[in-house]
Every structure is written in C-alpha cells, then in structure tokens.
C-alpha cells in the first residue's frame, strides 16, 4: 500500500533529448508527489513537486504530469544537458507525513 514503483531503472539519451521517468502508486492517501535529483555522494535535492489537484506543472526544463485516476505521475526533462546526468527519485506522502521513495532512475545524457 505504501509502495511507489519507478521505471525505468536507467536510461541514456543524447543531449537535447527528453528523458521520461514514470512512477505509480497505490495509496490514495498520498497527496504530495515530489521529484528529487541526486548526484553521487550528495543528498537528494528537490526538483519539482505536484499536488493531485493539477495535472501538470512546469518549472524551467522540468515538467511533472499527473494522472490521478491512473495513480501515475511522470517527470520529463526538456532539452536535457550532460549536467542533468544524475539519479532521479520520485516520492509520495500523505499531508505532513513521511515520504515514500521510488527505486530511482539513473539518467545519463550524452554530449
């Protein structure tokens, strides 16, 4: 009930491509869905987050799409750059409660 399933585990794109990472959840009590970026040896940093009352949110080159009925959400990285190469985690939580993380996706953007 608390799981968040993330796919793919890894992906490689060329510079300028659009990596897409997908997450699915089961717990309908979740109402906060953030995405984190993590570089090796560092803690995760919040990229963008969405609440269930909207279906899409954009911040810079990062876009979250949210499908409440399917209980799925995804991250798109527009015009990807080599500096975007990192591990990305989706997460979810009920209001004010602990985060549950997806398994992570290692993204490599080739020059």
Binding site for another protein (CB under 8 A): 32, 34, 36, 41-46, 49, 89, 93, 95-96, 98-104, 106
- Residue 10 CB-half CA count within 13 A: 5
Q: Which residues, 6+ apart, have CB-to-CB distance to 63 below 8 Å?
A: 48, 56, 57, 75, 76, 78
Q: Which two tokens mark 109?
A: 């953007």
Q: What are phi and psi of 86, to 5 degrees?
A: -175, 180
Q: How far is the CB of 43 from another protein (least distance, A)?
A: 4
Q: How far is the CB of 100 from another protein (least distance, A)?
A: 8
Closest CB to another protein among 77 and 89?
A: 89
Closest CB to another protein among 16 and 60?
A: 60
Q: How far is the CB of 16 from another protein (least distance, A)?
A: 27
Closest CB to another protein among 6 and 63?
A: 6
Q: How far is the CB of 71 from another protein (least distance, A)?
A: 19
CA distance 68 to 51: 10
């Amino acid at each position: 009930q608390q799981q968040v399933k993330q796919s793919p585990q890894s992906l490689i794109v060329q510079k300028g491509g659009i990596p897409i990472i997908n997450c699915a959840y089961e717990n309908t009590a979740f109402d906060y869905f953030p995405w984190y970026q993590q570089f090796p040896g560092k803690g995760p940093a919040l990229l963008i987050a969405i609440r269930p009352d909207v279906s899409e949110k954009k911040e810079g080159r990062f876009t979250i799409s949210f499908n409440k009925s399917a209980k799925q959400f995804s991250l798109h990285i527009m015009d990807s750059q080599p500096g975007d190469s990192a591990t990305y985690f989706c997460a979810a939580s009920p209001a004010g409660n602990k985060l549950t993380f997806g398994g992570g996706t290692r993204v490599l953007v080739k020059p």
